[in-house]
Structure 1
């Protein structure tokens, strides 16, 4: 009979401890997997994974909510210039071209600011950048409420507003979201960036109503106060941030000039840059700035015109969320091409609107679906090609192009209207430029579809 020695007993205890550890580890892994799969099956987004920046779901939700709210305020402020065109013409005699020129100045200032804010968010985090931008926005809105002359409008809204738009912008919020969340980044980006249209959907109708009660000056004062409240709330919701780990092919201390130089030698980057620049012309420049003035030029009253804009904003929200969901599942290049082609076709509709309000609403629906729905796929392709740790820089440069295109579109459309007293030529130009955006995107394949995606790697330059 075999006698149990001290060594046998010790080995038995070790094997028992090992089985217990494996069982405990397996249980934890299984529990985590089940939780992830449960979330995925409930919401159709796959397994939810949070990065090491914030191990709690509350932190990720806070980042999404903060990004949503600050973008809502920023983009509503950008669109509010369309509401002011009619009363400012009455009070100051400013033509649409003059107001559009200040809008273009704001977008040019934004182009400069956003090139700084994206890199700053990569290096120091999104929270301080968003707070600085919110303060600049509050100053811009307050200055607009108090302005008495054109130069005050140019300095207040044009310069301070441009800085605010550049700091409270997509590159900064996109960088925040992509660093906090993995596994469903397309949908998460769509949710956060949908604030760009939710603010227009909720804030602009309220401002229109306030214009008729407390006047445009009082409305801008209320908006400035709202900006401060949202900034304080977002400061606490974002919480403490940490830097992303550097890409395998790019050292963390690589000079920014060298980073930009590598981007400029990348064919996928040029596909994203030029398509996004043309996107700025046809979206922010033409539609966002001139949809309400176009409706009023057709003979529709202010509230009816604003309602058409609200319909546009509502479907813009639907388009962004849908595009975010799809960008997690389909070829993002093909998705972008489809969106730009739909937008090109949508610009045919306003050529036949006249006094037909149904056609105006149809245009609002179609162009809304194909408006900022480009954002999730553009951000996703940027992260896939160039890495999360420099997403702020990449999106900052892309947004410079978008802002310059938007400035050109805003000014050109206002100039065309002043020259011909109609917007037809602006729509014709937009048809061609939106189609050209689709052509440019062809240069940017989706690495995921080729089986070469790397969450943190920099793709080969070509």
Structure 2
């Protein structure tokens, strides 16, 4: 009976995380689609519009840090409730913008707070319930919310843009985010220990023996900084691609917005397969290695290497659109591994008791720099050169650097018990 209840609670956590991830990545995917129509209607440059997105991600990062502390104490429900209000206001108030300040302030503040409450809560809640060889599989299921958002919201927004315009599209998105995050808060559950349960994949004795890390202790060790450096370089490349890829296809390749959006949706369709599939692959790699940290490290080397190949193929689109399709599939493979894989690696090194605040602080650093730099550099290099060629080269180099850093990630951390 107890095991059946534990399984039910775990599945509820996955459902809540799926909804949270859907809304979080809905913000990312729709921005790339809305960027062109907003620039045309408001008369602002791509880099000027992208700056607000970059600043929003900085607020997101700060919020993510506090959400980690919140989750360690009270679980994810308060985070999802705050996100439902912030996320909805971010879309709704921005839709009424007529001046640059009325665009920047509501988007940066409300969207930043709303989305900042979602990433740490969704990843850590899954990691707190599922450990070892079961983590990546279950996270893969929850992370399917990201490609689902890319498909449903990208296609939906594209249709709305053709008929109703970007302002009404944002108002509809505000309603969707509000309702779905209220549902996420309903399905959310506290940490396993609050129910007298242990996570799947470990025994209660193993949980009790975990070391309780303070932030100062954790951040005085190399593994967390190695993981942050590997993650931040990938995130720089990832956000450059996600925010500018539709513009690359329309401006550099001369494709229509409809065709470019359909290509963008290919990443989503591929992700519906790659998320659960690569989750199972990652867990099989973990099972075949002496330690979970070794398996997670191998996947963190593999993921950005795939990103390098995807960028190279993206640059070959002029030769054939097939290269872009293959590139999109490879981006979905990278995407399925990297974000959750870093959380898995950190969890394998530091355990789960204070993972929320450790991962929250890492997210503060990574998301405070990576998305802002990536999205801004993509737009800046385009404005500077009139082409996205150098933007894609920049992303390729960032992925390559992430691969190199991941090669040096340690497999354990020394605990200095006083």
Inter-partner Cα distance in structure 1 for 2:64 and 2:152: 25
The aligned residue for residue 234 of structure 2 is 279
From 155, 163, 183, give the equivalent of 1:233: 183
Structure 1, unaligned stretches of length 5 or more?
1-31, 33-48, 448-457
The aligned residue for residue 128 of structure 2 is 179
| Conservation of the 8 A alpha-carbon contact between 2:88 and 2:175 | yes
The aligned residue for residue 169 of structure 2 is 219
Corresponding residue pairs, total: 394
SS at match of 2:5: coil
Q: Any idea what the Cα deviations from partners look like across 1:222-246, whole Å, max 9, x if unmatched?
A: 1111112112222221245565687
From 361, 376, 381, give the equivalent of 2:325: 361
The aligned residue for residue 421 of structure 1 is 386
Q: Any idea what the Cα deviations from partners look like across 1:355-407, whole Å, max 9, x if unmatched?
A: 73222222212222212421332222111111112221222222223321111
Following TM superposition, by how much is the alpha carbon of 1:191 offset from its aligned partner in structure 2, in angstroms? Answer: 1.3
The aligned residue for residue 360 of structure 2 is 396
| Conservation of the 8 A alpha-carbon contact between 2:241 and 2:392 | no
The aligned residue for residue 346 of structure 1 is 310
- Taking structure 2 as the reference length, what is the TM-score of the superposition? 0.88
Q: Any idea what the Cα deviations from partners look like across 1:398-444, whole Å, max 9, x if unmatched?
A: 22233211110100110110111111112212222211111212233
1:50-449 alignment, distance < 5 Å? 55-169=5-119, 171-182=120-131, 184-239=134-189, 248=209, 250-251=211-212, 259-283=214-238, 285-297=239-251, 298-330=253-285, 331-354=295-318, 356-403=320-367, 404-446=369-411
Q: Any idea what the Cα deviations from partners look like across 1:173-218, whole Å, max 9, x if unmatched?
A: 1221222335612211121123222211221111111111222111
SS at match of 2:375: helix
Q: Any idea what the Cα deviations from partners look like across 1:253-277, whole Å, max 9, x if unmatched?
A: x7xxxx2221222221122110011
Inter-partner Cα distance in structure 1 for 2:357 and 2:76: 12
The aligned residue for residue 453 of structure 1 is none
SS at match of 2:177: helix
| Conservation of the 8 A alpha-carbon contact between 1:125 and 1:242 | no
Inter-partner Cα distance in structure 2 for 1:239 and 1:370: 29
- Which piece of structure 1 moves more, 63-72 or 189-198? 189-198
- Taking structure 1 as the reference length, what is the TM-score of the superposition? 0.80
| Conservation of the 8 A alpha-carbon contact between 2:226 and 2:405 | yes
- Structure whose alpha-carbon radius of gyration is higher: 1
Inter-partner Cα distance in structure 2 for 1:377 and 1:460: 23
Structure 2, unaligned stretches of length 5 or more?
199-206, 286-294
Following TM superposition, by how much is the alpha carbon of 1:105 offset from its aligned partner in structure 2, in angstroms? Answer: 0.7
| Conservation of the 8 A alpha-carbon contact between 2:127 and 2:135 | yes
Following TM superposition, by how much is the alpha carbon of 1:329 offset from its aligned partner in structure 2, in angstroms? Answer: 2.1
